[in-house]
């Protein structure tokens, strides 16, 4: 299960490790109910504040995804079906394992699997997959948009930033209508698209700087 191009960038593994550590630290210290560390706790030493913000690790993961796929695919012809198949091979086995383990846990405590199956199926579109699987849904939505985002990157450095601005305006509109937008901004592509796109822009800017 290699990357789409067979290339591997060791330097990015360090950033992935940092992102994973940030996410792990938050879940390990807070669990699901604020134990042993309460949710409202804030470290008094500034650098450790990052360890109490798991979403920082999630955002770093998604920014890295945008950077990596721009690096791998920008300016190249993509066989989209092969790309999606490759991503499925890398992501679905572990996701299926997590879903099965969670299903077994629900059977063990006497819960019905009908509702669980319903929400698992909805996980294709909504942040309904268990144990952090919602982030896989967001990644999948990014893969669907990737050809369009790569096209904007080739056309102009400003078009991807226009996508970011459009996302900000859309979230502002939703906030004005509903009074909040935190759920969509955190759990879905509506809020995460900025991170993917800014990762792609970061690669494009670096490539241009290095070329000069």
In order of 31, 45, 98, 111, 138, the CA distances from 39 in angstroms are: 9, 17, 25, 28, 25
In order of 104, 115, 126, 130, 195, the CA distances from 111 in angstroms are: 10, 9, 22, 15, 37
Query: Structure pTM?
Result: 0.87
3-class SS letters over 121-189 = HHCCCCCCCCCCCHHHHHHHHHHHHHHHHHHHHHHCCHHHHHHHHHHHHHHHHHHHHHCCCHHHHHHCH
State the pLDDT confidence band at 55, using cuts at 50, 70 and 90. Answer: confident
State the pLDDT confidence band at 6, using cuts at 50, 70 and 90. Answer: low
Asked if 200 contacts 75 with a C-beta cutoff of 8 angstroms, the reply is: no
Dist. CA 191–CA 168, nearest whole Å: 8
pLDDT digits (tens, 9 = 90+) for 56-78: 899 999 999 999 999 988 778 88
pLDDT digits (tens, 9 = 90+) for 165-202: 999 999 999 999 999 999 999 999 999 999 999 999 99
- Domain segments of the chain: what residues? 10-211
**Residue 200: HSE in the Cβ half-sphere, 13 Å Cα cutoff:** 32
pLDDT digits (tens, 9 = 90+) for 118-145: 999 999 999 999 888 999 999 999 999 9
């Amino acid at each position: 299960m290699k990357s789409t191009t067979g290339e591997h960038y060791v330097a990015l593994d360090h950033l992935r490790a940092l992102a994973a550590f940030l996410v792990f630290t938050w879940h390990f210290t807070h669990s699901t109910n604020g134990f042993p560390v309460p949710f409202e706790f804030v470290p008094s030493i500034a650098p450790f504040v990052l360890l109490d913000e798991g979403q920082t690790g999630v955002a770093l993961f998604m920014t890295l995804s945008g950077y990596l796929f721009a690096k791998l695919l920008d300016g190249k012809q993509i066989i989209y079906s092969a790309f999606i198949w490759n991503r499925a091979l890398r992501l679905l086995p572990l996701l299926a394992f997590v879903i099965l383990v969670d299903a077994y846990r629900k059977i063990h405590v006497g819960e019905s699997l009908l509702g669980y199956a319903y929400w698992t199926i909805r996980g294709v579109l909504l942040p309904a997959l268990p144990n952090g699987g919602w982030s896989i849904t967001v990644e999948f939505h990014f893969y669907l948009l990737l050809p369009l985002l790569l096209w904007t990157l080739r056309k102009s450095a400003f078009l991807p930033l226009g996508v970011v601005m459009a996302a900000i305006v859309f979230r502002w509109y939703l906030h004005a209508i509903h009074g909040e937008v935190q759920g969509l901004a955190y759990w879905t592509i509506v809020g995460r698209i900025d991170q993917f796109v800014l990762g792609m822009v970061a690669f494009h800017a670096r490539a241009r700087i290095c070329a000069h």
